[in-house]
Amino acid sequence: MFTGATARLTVQNCGETPLQLAVEPWADEHRLPPGQTCVVVTHAPRADGSWCGTTRKNEPFHVEHRQDSIVVWAHGYCFHLSDLAGGEIYAADRECPAQSSAP
Ligand SMILES: [Zn+2]
Q: Tell me the CA–centroid distance for residue 94 and ligand 1, in Å.
A: 8
Per residue in 53-102, pLDDT (tens digit) is 999 999 999 999 998 899 999 999 999 999 999 999 999 999 999 986 55
Q: What is the mean pLDDT of residues 2-28?
A: 96
Q: State in Å, rounded, how far the first CA of the chain is from the last one.
A: 12
Measured in degrees and rounded to the nearest 5, phi and psi for residue 43 equal -125, 150
Q: What is the mean pLDDT of residues 3-16?
A: 96
Q: How far is CA 57 from CA 43, 47, 61, 72, in A?
A: 14, 11, 11, 17
Q: Tell me the CA–centroid distance for residue 33 and ligand 1, in Å.
A: 25
Q: Does residue 33 contact residue 13 with C-beta atoms inside 8 Å?
A: yes
Q: Tell me the CA–centroid distance for residue 45 and ligand 1, in Å.
A: 9
Tell if the pTM clears 0.85, that is, is over it. Answer: yes
17 DSSP 8-state letter: S
pLDDT of 27 higher than 70: yes
